[in-house]
Amino acid sequence: MIGFRIFPLQSRIDAQWVKKFKTIPVANVSDVMARMSAGGICLRPMHAGGVLAGPAFTVKTRPGDNLMVHKALSMAAPGDVIVVDAGGDLTNAIIGEIMTATAERRGLAGIVIHGAIRDAGTIAKNGFPVYAGGVTHRGPYKDGPGEINVPISLNGMVIQPGDLVLGDEDGLLCVPMEEAAAVYEAAHAKHELEAQILADIAQDKLDTDWIDQALTRLNCEVMK
């Protein structure tokens, strides 16, 4: 039945790309994807710090219900990121300390909740990556419906099962599986360019001629 069904995860982003993208800031990846993809400013890191990277194990659930998230925890493989579209509703928490501990124990790479969490204090002290839209003490229901390993959308960012999910202090991003190589090449070049710019700043060699060139091109009037 549409809306209440479970699929296996048929394919995952190759582990080599997960490892490579871990070294690139999310902002650099976003820049080379035309700044058009983002999980939304409300999805923030709730953990103590550290990079999130891994293939998406997707869950779509009724707001406030975590039955399918429990099932996903029992199905996901080590290194997977459970990504839950709970509609962005913050009334009831989808996960808390127990489910987070379960995910970490099973070797998952992290959890993303388009919704709320609880036990925020414990999660904040832990390095296991958890991203969410908010916090509430009100617990979840366990009645369904929901779907596992279907396409989901987090604030307009479409995630296909197995796509690469990235997260750092700046937020979340999804890299489509089939575009990982091209995106990485461009993001790596961007990262190296910014490293050179920082080195130029440290040596007072930063070239800012481009600013006046842009103003001239845009016909900006400079008053005397």
Which residues are part of a known binding site for Mg(2+)?
Answer: 119
Q: How far is CA 42 from CA 12, 45, 81, 145, 172, in A?
A: 26, 10, 18, 25, 10
Helix (H) / strand (E) element for 216: namely: helix 209-217
Annotated binding site: 96-99, 118-119
| Buried/exposed code over 64-87 (b: 16+ C-beta within 10 A; e: otherwise) | bbbbbbeebbebbeebbbbbbbbb
- Judge contact between 8 and 171, C-beta under 8 A: no
Annotated binding site for substrate: 96-99, 118
Mapped onto helix, strand or coil, the DSSP state of residue 138 is: coil
Instruction: State the amino acid at position 206 in one-letter form.
Output: L
Instruction: Report the C-alpha gap between 103 and 105 in whole angstroms.
Output: 5
